[in-house]
Structure 1
């Protein structure tokens, strides 16, 4: 069972480090308003994973993954939110380029924790990932629900540690990222990436 758990941990670690919407949202918030809000965003993302984990264990995520209508509703809502964040980042880059003084946190951004939570909860790919992959990774010595619950907790911890470390790395290079030209470039890149992920989510299939 220990070998199976370590193998599952390795798979989850690799999947956690693959760049995706969560990293893009974290980057946007950390660069816009500092490492504290970056960590709060990561906290929201982790809470979203735990919500998906609970839904998976009780079987509701499987219903979503199997229902084309439910999947479409959730994915379009998630895609719209990612596109909104991307457009917001692009608009912020234009305002930064105008030379006007900017608030440290964009007024439309809202709570960083809520931003992370919403972006994660409205990503239906996590439902597919949890219901499709976790059962195959769960250690055979445990019940299916216990094994999946354990892996969900592990995935949440790995995500918080990975994205939290990433936020702190951005903080170390804060002086570089606060240069106006660099900030504008990062806002534009992040905006395009978020919009790209939004389009990807919108066109994805269960």
Structure 2
């Protein structure tokens, strides 16, 4: 870039504003995507952006890129897992790089019945949800409607959106943060009969 320092300062300011508002500006899907869009607009080649993303993942859950653990997350998962028939899956488009370290730091190592990286959402999630729905109810929790929730909604599952619903989105539950979704999710789990295998 002609002036990388100015780009970095402007991007940091935009990310800070997005964090305060609880949403990144459209059409960005999340903070990673906002960085990609802004870099692309500055003429940075896609292969450079892709490599920068992978490099950033090697720093995940280190002092250079700390991970913030949502309040009460471990207790929430313990409550969910105490119900018979509940299976908890982690499905992410992110590569496995840095993920195990982040999960260990968050106290989530070994807490998932299924862990899928580089998943290819949204299409792959829709296929997975259809299979799960043959066994029971499904609830998808995420912060990106298009990738995390709509594929499940479209095949008849329930959804819990972290953040403000985008135009046209119809999540079953939504709240500004993950901890503020805990009561709705726990109630959903409690209302699920133990005679079905339920995926969350």
Task: Flag whether TM exceeds 0.5 (same fold).
Answer: no
Structure with more helix by fraction: 1
What is the TM-score with the length of structure 2 in the denominator? 0.25
Higher relative contact order (CA 8 A, sep 6+): 1
What is the TM-score with the length of structure 1 in the denominator? 0.24
